[in-house]
Amino acid sequence: MNTQENTNTVSPSAPAGADVDWEVRYNTGDTPWQKPHAHPALVDWLSRTPMHGKVLVPGCGAGEDVRAIAKGGVEVLAIDIAPSAIALAESFPRAGSERYLLGDFLAGDATAHGPFDSLFEHTCLCAIPPSRRADYVHAAAAALKPGGLLLAVIYSNPDNPDPAKPPFACPDSEIHPHFDPLFETLETRTSLPTFAEREDRETLRLYRKR
């Protein structure tokens, strides 16, 4: 992979991880996004609103969120561009009917395994260059059924000392123009249950494919 991290020079046709060598980061343990359990906002959501059918999780990492969803008895496909992330996810005992795919979500590598009823977003959108956000939305829409749901925990305002590197801020003003043509917003929540140091920095949104 190319280790260049200049978000202004990433080709629109480059792989999702072309700006960061995610494999190196896994191999060196430079993975601050990895947590020992699923996102608290997802766990809270699932306790009240179970998912159904087939679910896609892009940028799955070690699969904490994947396993939380799979416990509900749904079929989950998780995709990540880093081989070490997939190997780590597969090293955990299965929680249900989850599968892991090594591939590039932005290139549509998950689409052939769909269509999906739902997609859960946590750390993928904020990890890709802002110039690829339209590609993310189009990949999500292509993978979902008509009327499919996209549940997202969006990192609106990360405390990032280097704004040229991920995680990238995802404020509403930059997200809405990409999502609005293909998705309608059904629900928005702030002040989420979350991890330490992320308080008041995330927004939960429920979208429906138009």
Instruction: Encode pLDDT of 159-177 as tens digits.
Output: 888 888 899 999 999 999 9
Locate the DSSP E strands across 31-135: 54-58, 75-80, 97-102, 116-121
* More confidently predicted of 144 and 7: 144
Domains located in the chain, CATH noted:
31-209 (3.40.50.150)
Query: Which residues are 64's β-sheet partners?
Result: none
Q: Say whether pLDDT at 8 is over 80.
A: no
Q: Is 148 helix (H, G, I), strand (E, B) or coil?
A: strand
pLDDT attached to residue 113? 98
Q: Please calculate the CA angle 48-124-138 and round it to the nearest 5 degrees.
A: 95
* Average pLDDT, rounded, for the chain: 91
* Residue 112 DSSP code: G
Q: Is the peptide bond preceding residue 32 cis, with omega within 30 degrees of 0?
A: no
Instruction: Encode pLDDT of 56-98 as tens digits.
Output: 999 999 999 999 999 999 999 999 999 999 999 999 999 999 9
Q: Are 75 and 101 in contact (CB under 8 A)?
A: no
Q: Are 3 and 15 in contact (CB under 8 A)?
A: no
Q: Say whether pLDDT at 32 is over 90.
A: no
pLDDT attached to residue 164? 87
**Amino acid in the structure at residue 89:** A
Q: Say whether pLDDT at 1 is over 50.
A: no
- Please give the biggest Cα pair distance in the chain: 43
pLDDT attached to residue 4? 33
10, 13, 25, 131, 199 from 6: Cα distances, Å = 7, 15, 17, 11, 28
